[in-house]
Amino acid sequence: MSANVGGAVLDSAKSGMSFEGFLTAYDGQHAEWVDGGVVRMSPPSDRHQDVVGFLHAVLRPFVGRQHGVVRAAPYVMRIDGAAREPDLLAVTAEHRGRITETLLDGPADLVIEVLSPESRARDREQKFHEYEVAGVHEYWLVDPIGKSVEQYRRDAAGWFDRVLDDPTRLVSERFPGLCLEVAWLWSEPLPDVLDVFRTWGLI
């Protein structure tokens, strides 16, 4: 039996499932484990995948030059009481030890969620709270439909504080020099990855 929860499908027949059972039963599937329940994600839209693919393509070499790691869904980030699959996550060289063969065991330094109609409430509410409590340092919300971004950083007290420095750019604190022009995300077509690398001075 299943139920719709915030646009995703909660597989209620799997309530009470252990994390190890989840990894076995849902290996390779786009699903998340939350408090013993399994949430199966709805198929993403074409535009969602375009934006995620673009971000992955430009972030991976940039972060890699700083000896960090970038992963795109489906890839599990295990935090207290949940195993989420962010659209994108990045880990600094300092925290590479959290990367295992099958998952990130602990919070990422940067998490990016690309919003879709079915994920909007979940990404802004449930996941926001979980990522904040778990210790994610930076959280970016990208909304291709509304053409807006939200950027949060962990403050000294351990809470997400919204960054309002420059609404036209996404600038990372954990990955020095990483600066994304927000206009790139709404371009049709999306920018050529090599042009972005030239802007950053990578090539």
Q: What is residue 48's predicted lDDT score, i.e. its pLDDT?
A: 93
> Does the pLDDT at position 1 exceed 90?
no
Q: What is residue 106's predicted lDDT score, i.e. its pLDDT?
A: 97
In order of 76, 165, 192, the CA distances from 150 in angstroms are 23, 11, 24
Q: What is the pLDDT of residues 17-74, one digit of tens each?
A: 887 788 777 776 777 788 778 877 777 789 999 999 999 999 999 999 999 999 999 8
Q: What is residue 99's predicted lDDT score, i.e. its pLDDT?
A: 96
Q: What is residue 2's predicted lDDT score, i.e. its pLDDT?
A: 39
Kind and range of the H or E run holding 154: strand 148-154
Q: What is residue 12's predicted lDDT score, i.e. its pLDDT?
A: 42
> Does the pLDDT at position 198 exceed 60?
yes
Model confidence, pTM: 0.85
The stretch 85-100 carries a mean pLDDT of 97
The stretch 171-176 carries a mean pLDDT of 96
| Domain 45-200 indexed as CATH 3.90.1570.10 | yes
Q: Within the chain, which residue ranges are assigned CATH 3.90.1570.10? A: 45-200
Q: What is the DSSP string of 23-87?
A: HHHTTTSSEEEETTEEEEPPPPPHHHHHHHHHHHHHHHHHHHHTT-EEEESS-EEEETTEEE--S
